[in-house]
Structure 1
């Protein structure tokens, strides 16, 4: 029989980076209790815990681990499996990572724990407030009771909660990299090119906003514009020449042009 998770959960938080530092106050605001905060750097754990009244910083991973309803691993992807292996987990502990690309199977080597995933589909940067109710939260769990607890936790934070398996989540993560990380990099290139011409990046703001609004309102491939879609050879050649000082960007321009034209 699946137990109904309590409305207020005790949560052990591993990590103090960009995600953890934004997630911790959101958990408290949602009515949960942080059993502890841990970091590889003790000072970082102490600093984050100090912003959360009543939350202790965990100084050591030596057993016994403080009890919690959920242990959240808000650490870099590469650190998840070593951290899992380094801790003597309470029997039956619910442990969830927050990674988009890591499968649920990373918990296979830890039979004492119930593995799960709580993946927030968002970009996190210092000084940027996160609207948690609008953030899609993707959950996956090895058991029905673990899923029920993660579902309750996710729904306390967000209006958009999805059950996704590892393959779906990986594809979503790849899509997010294209939509966010690669787009941001392209905007960085645009910003640098404007700076070379002593032009303000604000000039592109209306264009960027319209591009995003249009892409969100339509299938993006169907509203593609520009010299590539027009097969405007003189303009493409002029742009290629203008990028002569940046061969890597020149190659990227050619690759993206070819990709756009392949979708026509």
Structure 2
């Protein structure tokens, strides 16, 4: 399939090479930051940068919108596509209906729309990710487009689901808790340890075992430990005393402690 990327950030950095390795041809990469497009193109076989959002003469049939959610409508309003092209967004939170509405308003030619959402965290500049075990969530306006996107997904991943916008939104919220919030808590733990001259490496075995147990359990609630789980108010008060000069951390500690206590109060 002939493919163009609109956006050259974290996801595109990994998805474009994965599609290319599956035998697809990446024609063009557009980014508002031309340097990002150049960096991505340098890792592809025969792609080139595209300096504007007019793709009317592009040989591509699939256009992948890999841009921040709050930029999607603005990009769609400027996008010029070949007739009957397929355009997909890669957002966990934006609905298919939003993309369908924007393209019906802004496109001068008929296009087909869909969603191609890899459920994973990506970081630009890191080694290219293998997509075999990355869930690909598909949604489309019609069966032909859906079949084409499912086939595309199956060529790079063993896990492809057809899900609705509502289901995808739920997954995205859950992913924020599982990924973004978890990483932020690791950051806070790192800062707490290092501010008193302790090595964060001391916590790594604990973190590794915590994730191992949580992922091995059918329900992570069954392997919860710690003072809040035990109802150990003496330890909790000791911790809060230590955090008394750091009100933001104290607030987070109290919020999570209360959430755990409520979880197990019955």
- Show the counterpart of 1:215: 214
Which of 28, 45, 57 aligns to 2:37? It is 45
What's the TM-score once normalised by structure 2's chain length?
0.92
**Structure 1 residues 65 and 261: alpha-carbon distance in aligned structure 2, compared to 1, 3 A threshold:** farther
- Show the counterpart of 1:109: 102
Q: Which runs of 4+ in 1 moved over 6 A?
A: none
Work out the CA distance in 2 between the residues paired with 1:251 and 1:128: 37
Q: How does 1:108-187 map to 2 (within 5 A)?
A: 108-111=101-104, 112-125=110-123, 126-187=125-186
Aligned length: 256
Residues 79-108 of structure 1: per-residue CA shift (max 9 Å, x gap): 111111212222322100011001001122
**Structure 1 residues 63 and 230: alpha-carbon distance in aligned structure 2, compared to 1, 3 A threshold:** closer
In structure 1, runs of 5+ residues without a counterpart are 1-8
RMSD: 1.3
What's the TM-score once normalised by structure 1's chain length?
0.93
1:133 aligned counterpart, secondary structure: coil
User: Are the aligned partners of 1:73 and 1:95 in contact in 2 as well (CA < 8 Å)?
Assistant: yes
The offset of 1:62, in angstroms, is 3.1
Work out the CA distance in 2 between the residues paired with 1:72 and 1:129: 18
User: Are the aligned partners of 1:65 and 1:88 in contact in 2 as well (CA < 8 Å)?
Assistant: no
The offset of 1:109, in angstroms, is 3.1
Work out the CA distance in 2 between the residues paired with 1:25 and 1:256: 40
Work out the CA distance in 2 between the residues paired with 1:128 and 1:246: 37
